[in-house]
Chains A and B, each alone.
Chain A
């Protein structure tokens, strides 16, 4: 499914978080969004996924306008997301986390007639766990998982809803170099196998340049540049605003 945003704008009080952003994410594309801290990357995700209502502009899914719809409604349209800080259900095991997501996806979350989990939910949850490589810790309490596995579980929760568009907010945040590559390879495999339209926010430039088909650079809430790795690497505006300082910091 393709995702388009047109002239998206969001202000918080006097602060313009996102200004007139128009972007197109074609079906099956793999896009990285980069930009300095405070560039509006997470706000951008929040606008698409229905957490914030944009002041103006539109969000289109395969041409259908979903601007201002509720979070639940946008999920049902097929946009899943994972969070910068893993957002999971800590008192439940990995399998239970995924089973409640499966029940939610199947519209069985308000059921009172039978016991939890609904028939077939466990099998489907295990499929999803398998997909992200969490099957062997399925019965571990999710609060006790490693940081990386919690991030994977967060992504798995989104996958349980069978999204066609997946938004990942810094999937490698807080990980060591080696773990980062493992994570991003998993994400890449998921993208291929599930035929997702995938958009991810990332700070590690090596990963971005190696993995993303297209890179979009946000700066002060505006689109500063877009293009493939080569185009972005050599773009003077990007170097001045972001890459230059980034390389010093690294």
Chain B
């Protein structure tokens, strides 16, 4: 069960990476490259959120704070210090972890709805700091002036193709690590908390430690998504830190599915593709997206990938009733 699934995940990741890197050799489409770069940022962001939502039962409405923080911290480090791109990225992840620890320490003990509200409040506070602290962040104009020294391991990130390859690698590796987290003993503990928190405490587990660890890990990977976003827009803008960005991640998670690991990735891709397609036809993007989300949540009652996986399981074992032994494996 253990070694097998780890190898399978590794194989899936390797194949995905090979396919992603091979695409530009066959298809010349700058639009596609841009799309994947944006998906990479959003997928890391949404999947890290789902470690909290689907993995632990913690619905955060302020996860976008760490996405925005990643973008701003990284862009500022590149503009204002002489750090190399790799060093600035590493420092950004540390900043994301520290911020996650601080915000998590405040929020983690709160019950469901209070947790949601306080995380949202934290993000709004963070957003107003960005807007107000003009000398550092450029206020509502955002951080302009681009990101210098865009070179990493021989990749010149001024080239769209190189940024595409880097984003693909970061996305696949990042998702692989998050997958490992959810398949680890800690991941199992988080599922216990989601299923039955009081019982988990009675089994001798320190609930706040498990939740806080998850919160910090999620913050780090949201920051990683933020770094990709900053590289893509060549700067950082308040929209990356404002609360609707948290809503987007929640939509991605809901659209794709919370019970399947790749659900949020699928959701991110659907959300961005849909947004692009709708914008071409009408200016009422929000209205159309809203209708789609309503259809998925009320009609399918769960994410697209969750529905597909369920159908697949049924086809594999058409006669298996839930109580049949061994059916689960």
Decide: A91 and B181 in contact? CB cutoff 8 A. no
- Give A90 to B185 CA distance when docked, in angstroms: 18
Shortest Cβ distance from residue A61 to the other chain B in the assembled complex, whole angstroms? 15
Most buried by A among B183, B187, B203, B213: B203
List the B side residues contacting A104 at CB < 8 Å: 189, 200, 203-205
Given contacts A75-B203, A88-B199, A161-B203, contact A117 B185 (CB under 8 A): yes
Question: 11 A-B Cβ contacts within 8 A?
Answer: A49-B202, A72-B203, A88-B196, A89-B191, A103-B189, A110-B189, A110-B209, A111-B185, A113-B184, A115-B5, A115-B180
Residue A11 is within 8 A (CB to CB) of chain B in the complex: no
Say yes or no: A89 contacts B199, CB within 8 Å.
yes
Which B residues contact A (CB, under 8 angstroms)?
A: 1-3, 5-6, 180-181, 183-189, 191-192, 194-196, 198-206, 209-210, 213, 322-329
Q: Is the CB of B204 within 8 A of A76?
A: yes
Contact of B184 among A88, A96, A116, A122 (CB under 8 A): A116
Q: Is the CB of B195 within 8 A of A92?
A: yes
Whether A115 contacts B328 by the Cβ 8 Å rule is: no
Residues of B within 8 A of A122 (CB): 1
Contacts of A236 in B (CB 8 A): none
- In the assembled complex, which residues on chain B have CB atoms less than 8 Å from the CB atom of A144? 322-323
Interface residues of A in 64-121 (CB under 8 A from B): 70-72, 75-76, 81, 83, 87-93, 96, 99-101, 103-105, 108-118
Which of chain A's residues have a CB closer than 8 A to the CB of B210?
A: 109-110
Contacting pair B1 A117 (CB below 8 A): yes
Interface residues on A, range: 35 or more
Given contacts A88-B196, A138-B325, 20 further A-B contacts (CB under 8 A): A49-B202, A71-B201, A71-B204, A72-B205, A75-B202, A83-B199, A89-B199, A90-B196, A92-B192, A96-B188, A100-B191, A109-B189, A110-B213, A114-B184, A115-B183, A136-B325, A137-B323, A137-B325, A139-B329, A145-B323
With contact pairs A92-B191, A109-B189, A157-B199 given, residues A117 and B205 touching in the complex (Cβ less than 8 Å): no
By secondary structure, the A interface counts as: loop
Query: Smallest Cβ distance from B87 to chain A, in angstroms?
Result: 25
Known: A87-B196, A140-B325. A161 touches B204 (CB 8 A): yes
Q: Is A141 an interface residue (CB 8 A)?
A: yes
CB A107 to nearest CB in B, in angstroms, measures 8
User: B200 — which chain A residues lie within 8 A by C-beta?
Assistant: 104
Partner of A109 from the list B1, B205, B322 (CB cut-off 8 Å) is B205
Whether A117 lies near B2 (C-beta < 8 A) is: yes
Find out whether the CB atom of A87 lies under 8 angstroms from the CB atom of B199.
yes
Contact of A141 with B195 at beta-carbon distance under 8 Å, contacts A109-B205, A115-B5 already known:
no
Tell me the smallest distance from the CB of B28 to a CB of chain A, in Å. 40
- A72 contacts B1, CB within 8 Å? no
Are A140 and B328 in contact, CB atoms less than 8 angstroms apart?
Answer: yes
**B213 in contact with A100 (CB, 8 Å):** no
Could you tell me if B203 and A140 are in contact, using CB atoms closer than 8 angstroms? no
Q: Which residues of A contact B184 (CB under 8 A)?
A: 111-116
* Shortest distance from the beta carbon of A74 to any chain B beta carbon, whole Å: 9
Are B183 and A116 interface neighbours, CB within 8 A?
yes
| A110 proximity list for chain B (CB < 8 A) | 185-186, 189, 209-210, 213
Q: A92-B191, A138-B325 are in contact. Are A71 and B202 (CB under 8 A)?
A: yes
Chain A 9-53 interface mask (CB, 8 Å, partner B; 1/0): 000000000000000000000000000000000000000010100
3 pairs of A and B residues whose beta carbons are closest in the complex: A111-B185, A75-B204, A89-B195
Rounded to whole angstroms, the CA-CA distance of A117 and B186 in the bound complex is 10
Chain B residues with Cβ under 8 A from A157's Cβ?
Answer: 199, 203
Nearest residue (CB) in B for A118 is: B185
> What separation, in Å, do the CA atoms of A108 and B185 have in the docked complex?
7
User: In whole Å, how far is B150's beta carbon from the nearest beta carbon of chain A?
Assistant: 32
